[in-house]
Amino acid sequence: MGTSHSVLAGSSWYNQHCTYRVSVTQNDLLRPNRGGQGGEEDGLVTETVLSVKGLQKKIGGKPIIRDITFDVFAGEVFGFLGPNGAGKTTTIRMLVGLASADAGDIRIGGISLRDQFPEAIAQVGCIVENPEMYKFMTGRENLEHFARMSGGIGPERIEEIVRFVDLQRAIDDKVKTYSLGMRQRLGIAQALLHRPKLLILDEPTNGLDPAGIRELRQFIRKLAEEEGLAVFISSHLLSEIEMMCDRVAIINRGEVISVGLVKDLMAQFADQVEWSVAPEAVEKAARLLQSLPYTDEVSIYPENRLKCKMDTARISEANLALVKGGVPVVGIASKTVTLEDLFLSLTADGGEPRP
């Protein structure tokens, strides 16, 4: 890993927004579930494109990354979430070779980033926030310029990727006339020219209006579902991550505290029901709710409120049990849990979920 900086210094990969040439054929484009080492879902084995194991990093003697472990599979969109200072940026810098790890291993397409940097990084395309292009040049001229710097990219590949990102009408216009969303698509086109297996996007929705965010979300899903690309996204817009990603990793204080399918992580907090009861009946209500076989994690809150996890279809049954037990029920509310709720709960107290 220590040689990474010398490889990157002044390179087209670094200067051209984290892209690197790789010589592959059209048939080498990944497709989901085509086999190999990887994860398994619904009985299908998927190729592990990015494998991060036990990553650690100190800066100025202070541990910044304590233990980061996760895998990203072909054909999925993977979200990387964490509060400010959690270690997201440092982790991304290590993923693309801009910082070295003190311990741990990063493999891209099964190739060690530390031991075989050029071969591993050749499989990566990357955009950090809003891509910077030569605004006095047309979109096509920007892509042609990058293709010349990278080598091995012909005009037919440029035409193919322009169609894929749907920039045919504007590709011969100067970039200074592009909207931010169009520049974002041009940046992704540039990152995809060399047919990477892994696309890393750091805060890709920054500055986009709602229409642009929606368009980008649909495009990223298309990359994963139709091209079989592994897409790694770091973003602070949790609602977008929830709609865009298949799986997420949540980090806090330099450690992964939760990783899995979005729907499975949210299921930990799903079906929360809040009860408001008479002040004198709070303790009795808690005991009664705890005694029911279909309730879990009963907790008492201020203002005579209780919360529990349960199937919302059985609220009326639980309410009847409380009333029969002599508990005056003042109000009932069920909560639709979002990824934001999960994120805040996991990161508020050092990674332990709050009820």
Domain residue ranges of the chain, discontinuous segments joined by +: 4-261, 271-336
Does pLDDT of 36 surpass 80?
no
pLDDT at 235 over 80: yes
pLDDT exceeds cutoff 80 at 307: yes
Q: How far apart are CA 158 and CA 64, in angstroms?
A: 40
Tell me the β-bridge partners of 252.
Answer: 255
Question: What pLDDT is recorded for position 149?
Answer: 87
* pLDDT for res 317: 96
Q: What angle do CA 166, 228, 200 make, to 5 degrees?
A: 75
Residue 199 φ/ψ, nearest 5 degrees: -115, 120
**Mean pLDDT for the chain?**
83
- Please give the single-letter amino acid code of residue 222: K
* Whether the predicted pLDDT of 145 surpasses 90: yes
Assess whether pLDDT exceeds 80 at residue 123.
Answer: yes
- Which pLDDT tens digit goes with each residue over 193-212? 999 999 999 988 888 888 88
Cα 247 from Cα 260, distance rounded (Å):
5
Confidence (pLDDT) at 343: 83
Q: Is 238 within 8 Å of 223 (Cβ atoms)? A: no
* Long-range Cβ pairs for the range 151-158 (8 Å, 24+): 151/21, 152/21, 152/23, 152/194, 153/21, 153/193, 153/194, 157/193, 158/193
The domain made up of 4-261 has a fold known as: Rossmann fold (3.40.50)
Fold classification of 271-336 is Alpha-Beta Plaits (3.30.70)
* pLDDT at residue 279 tops 90: yes
> Residue 350 above 80 pLDDT?
no
Mean pLDDT of 331-337: 84
Rounded to two decimals, the pTM is: 0.74
Q: What is d(CA 242, CA 233) in angstroms, rounded to the nearest whole number?
A: 12
> In the prediction, which pLDDT does 237 show?
80
CA distance 240 to 275: 31
3-state DSSP call for residue 214?
A: helix
Q: Which two tokens stand for residue 340?
A: 């934001």
Q: What is the mean pLDDT of residues 168-190?
A: 94
Q: What is the predicted pLDDT for the residue at 129?
A: 66
* pLDDT band, residue 29 (cuts 50/70/90): very low
Over residues 259-287, the mean pLDDT reads 87
Rounded CA separation 147/170 (Å):
19
Q: How many beta carbons lie within 10 A of that of residue 167, not counting itself?
A: 21
DSSP string over 53-98:
EEEEEEETTEEEEEEEEEEEETT-EEEEE--TTSSHHHHHHHHTTS
* Residue 238: pLDDT band with limits 50, 70, 90: confident
Minimum mean pLDDT range among 4-18, 71-85, 306-320: 4-18
Instruction: List all residues 6 or more positions away from 6 whose beta carbon is below 8 Å from its beta carbon.
Output: none
What pLDDT is recorded for position 269?
65
